[in-house]
Structure 1
């Protein structure tokens, strides 16, 4: 597993997650996204959903970070919340399984999830929001700390639109393998994340969510001129 982390160090991960229910939300398109990302130099891809994961596994040889998203009635945790999800993702071909690593009410403790991931023989990634999340997950044995959920929890909702470079630096200081993720929507922001201490960086929306990116460009065309 050390070799897998070595292969990711300094690499770009592309999150191939179309807008839910959108016209690109089909396994064959997710596969095409993954293959195109690899052709462009991606060191790994991040894939949501078992059907998408199985299809992508047949198409690419780079490592795959697998997740399952669920909307739970009794918990804000969405990313791979159940032990059963871990087993399913490992069986579908994930090399790394990411779970919500925040300290929020959840159906399964983080310790149970990381144990299940390692028992499945794959690496465990914690999608975190705060330095405290990272410290707790590192102590539990997670192999990768991601800044994925910074800005997307009640505790961090006040943060601005830029990536959380301070959190990247905090995880670096903790001695973790750091995956920068979240709001990395320009190449210069990815470069800054690496300078802040990230080992690798994940980009999603700017590369794979065409509806959102189109909206950004369209809004820029109608925005008032600065200073007016």
Structure 2
């Protein structure tokens, strides 16, 4: 992919590891594979949950930067976690995990409230990611101070979109019969 794209690529590896809730680039070995694949920035789950191999964000972030020469995007769920990630050396912080952890499961992305707090408090670029499902969401994120916006499932989740259409049409057929 690198040969066709000149913009920075944010790479990550989502995987479930038994016994651990962290699933976005959980280990340094995963970051190495992402770097070898051509990513410029390595995204990691920077929540304070336990990681495999005893790694922590305080060891993983500097290791990625020093040994791989890559910048790190810390995917977070709360302001406290974002602050800890910046202290650990994160180059970017994203609202990615807002609404997806035990601490935030009662919230629905996009995390505009979190984004606003992070933009005011942090001295690194803040990326709004998660729940951006319309151009208006992206626009609002930029207006709130986001450095960049990641649009994921709204573009790549064609299977979800097809299912939503199917469900809606089946409801019409069921009620119209």
The answer to whether the superposition gives a TM-score over 0.5 is yes
Quote the RMSD (CA, aligned, Å). 1.5
Per-residue Cα deviation, 1:85-109 (whole angstroms, up to 9, x for no partner): 1222222211000000111121221
Shift of 1:68: 1.1
- Does the aligned pair in 2 maintain the 1:83–1:112 contact within 8 Å? no
Aligned to 1:6: none
Which residue number in structure 2 is paired with residue 181 of structure 1? Answer: 129
Equivalent in 21, 33, 48 of residue 103 of structure 1: 48
Given the alignment of the two structures, is residue 166 of structure 1 paired with residue 113 of structure 2, yes or no?
A: yes
Distance 2:44 2:133 in 1: 22
Contact 1:87 1:116 in 2 (8 A): no
Q: For residue 150 of structure 2, what is the aligned residue in structure 1?
A: 202
Find the aligned partners of 1:188 and 1:220 in 2 and give their Cα distance: 23
- Larger RCO, structures 1/2 (Cα 8 Å, 6+ apart): 1
Counterpart in the other structure of 1:60 = 5
How many residue pairs match? The answer is: 168
Structure 1 residue 217, shift from structure 2 partner: 3.0
In the alignment, structure 1 segments of 5+ residues that lack a partner are 1-55
Q: Say if 1:76 and 1:223 are closer, same or farther in 2 by CA, change over 3 A.
A: same
Aligned residue in 1 for 2:21? 76
2:84 alignment partner in structure 1: 136
Report the Cα offset of residue 220 of structure 1: 3.9
For residue 169 of structure 1, give the secondary structure of its aligned residue in structure 2: helix
The separation in 1 between residues aligned to 2:168 and 2:141, in whole angstroms, is: 25
Instruction: Give the aligned partner of residue 15 of structure 1.
Output: none
Q: Which residue of 2 aligns with 1:217?
A: 165
- Runs of 5+ in structure 2 lacking a partner? 173-177
Contact kept, 8 Å, 2:27 with 2:51, in 1: the verdict is: no
Q: How far apart in 2 are the matches of 1:144 and 1:221?
A: 42
Distance 1:134 1:220 in 2: 39
Shift of 1:218: 3.2
Can you list the C-alpha shifts for 1:183-224, whole angstroms capped at 9, x where unaligned?
Answer: 101110111111122110000111111101122333344568
1:149 matches 2:94: no
Q: Hey, what's the Cα distance between the residues in 1 that align with 2:164 and 2:135? A: 16
Q: TM-score if structure 2 supplies the norm length?
A: 0.89
Q: TM-score of the superposition, structure 1-length normalised?
A: 0.70
Q: Decide whether aligned partners of structure 1 residues 169 and 58 sit closer, same or farther in structure 2, where only a CA change above 3 A counts.
A: same
In 1, are the aligned partners of 2:76 and 2:96 still within 8 Å (CA)? yes
